[in-house]
Amino acid sequence: MELSGKVALVTGASRGIGRAVAELLGSRGAKVAVNYERRPENAAEVARGIEQRGGEAMVVQADVSQASQVESMIAQVTTRWGPVDILVNNAGIYPHSLFIEMPEEEWDRVLAVNLKGTFLCSKAVVSPMKEKKWGRIINMTASSGLRGSATASHYAASKGGMIGLTKSMAVEVALFGITVNAVAPTTTDTDMPRGDLSEEESRKKLERQSREIPMGRIGRPEEVADAVLFLVRESGNYITGQVVCVNGGSLMR
């Protein structure tokens, strides 16, 4: 299989897009470390699913915003399987506040998980990738990182920041066989856009958003995972520093 022998770490993989990415990479032969922060049962379920389909998986707990936890997560994966070849920085949070009312702590937390977490995890895996002369880093950004988001300015800033980080890292490691790219989904059918809304409110919100998308529907986690796989395979060899939009045409660039 095309990813046989590769070690992948997917952060925030207990559900949603991260889960779909972990499952797809696992089905293509990668050994997959399923990172979670607060949902061990969900992460275990994802890992079990990968194993049941003949793949290899492990679960690793870490709050990606904490350097010590990131280090210990990478150490666990490396001890068991060797260095990480494929890192998917997917862990993220998406609270809502008007910026005028936004508590500083909420701003800090969003930037810490989404942006600093991406920095910390990438930094922790890049040296062995350089030695191997092969590596893939995929950062899960979002449409709002490109066009902003009313009621989630911290989220939009963190996702925009991830794009700047992606491009900068891409150039720094380009000579070492490592590519760094971002994938930018729009609203995707996961728990995240539903937040704390009731079922009825969620349905209305997602229907409204679907109407605003040229393809007339929101995305599916598997469709985002397919873009990650394309960048991770040898097919992505000459692609680095780019943002691949998976959004049904809602933002064209």
Partner 1 sequence: MELKDQGAIVTGGGGGIGRATVLRLAREGAVIAIADLSAENARTVAEEVRAGGGKAIALPVDVTRSSDVARMVEETTKSLGRIDILVNVAGGSLQKAVAEMSEEEWDFIVDVNLKGTFLCSKAVLPTMMGRRSGAIVNISSIYGFTGNATRAHYSAAKAGVVGFTKALAQEMAPYHVRVNAVAPGRIATPRVRGLYTDEEWKKRIDPIPMKRAGEPDEIAEAVFFLASPASIYITGQTLHVNGGSLLY
Question: Minimum Å distance from CB 1 to partner 1?
Answer: 15
Of the residues 130, 167, 194, 205, which one makes contact with partner 1 according to CB under 8 A: 167
**Alpha-helix residue ranges (DSSP H) falling in the chain:** 16-27, 40-52, 67-81, 104-110, 117-132, 144-147, 153-173, 199-211, 221-232
User: Given the rule CB under 8 A, which of 56-64, 79-87, 100-108, 245-253 is the region that contacts partner 1?
Assistant: 245-253
Give the up-direction half-sphere exposure of residue 132: CA atoms within 13 A in the CB hemisphere: 17
Residue 2: CB atoms within 10 A of its CB come to 12
- From CA 14, how far away is CA 206, in angstroms rounded? 22
- Known catalytic residue: 155? yes
End-to-end CA distance of the chain: 33
145 binds partner 1 (CB under 8 A): no
- Taking the C-alpha atoms of residue 79 and residue 208, their distance in angstroms, rounded to an integer, is 47
**Pairwise CA distance, residues 189 & 222, whole Å:** 10
Give 27 or 153: the residue with its C-beta nearer to partner 1: 27
Only one of the segments 30-38, 115-123, 199-207, 217-225 lies at the binding site for partner 1 (rule: CB under 8 A); that segment is: 217-225
Find residue 219's DSSP bridge partners.
Answer: 188
Residue with smaller CB distance to partner 1, 44 or 243: 243
Output 26 or 219, the one with its CB closest to partner 1.
219
Contact window for partner 1 (CB under 8 A) among 83-91, 124-132, 197-205, 221-229: 221-229
For position 16 contacting partner 1 by CB under 8 A, the verdict is: no
Taking residues 55 to 94 in sequence order and writing x for each that binds partner 1 by CB under 8 A, - otherwise, the string is ----------------------------------------
Distances (CA, A) of 144 to 117, 130, 148: 18, 32, 4
By CB under 8 A, tell whether 242 contacts partner 1.
Answer: yes
Longest CA span, the chain: 52
Under rule CB under 8 A, residue 211 binds partner 1:
no
Among 17, 30, 142, 244, binds partner 1 (CB under 8 A): 244
Please identify which residue in the block is written with the tokens 């046989």: 4
Tell which residue, 123, 134, 114, has the closest CA to residue 232.
Answer: 134
Return residues touching partner 1 (CB under 8 A): 167, 170-171, 174-175, 214-216, 219-220, 223-224, 226-227, 229-230, 234-249, 252-253
Q: Which residues are catalytic?
A: 155
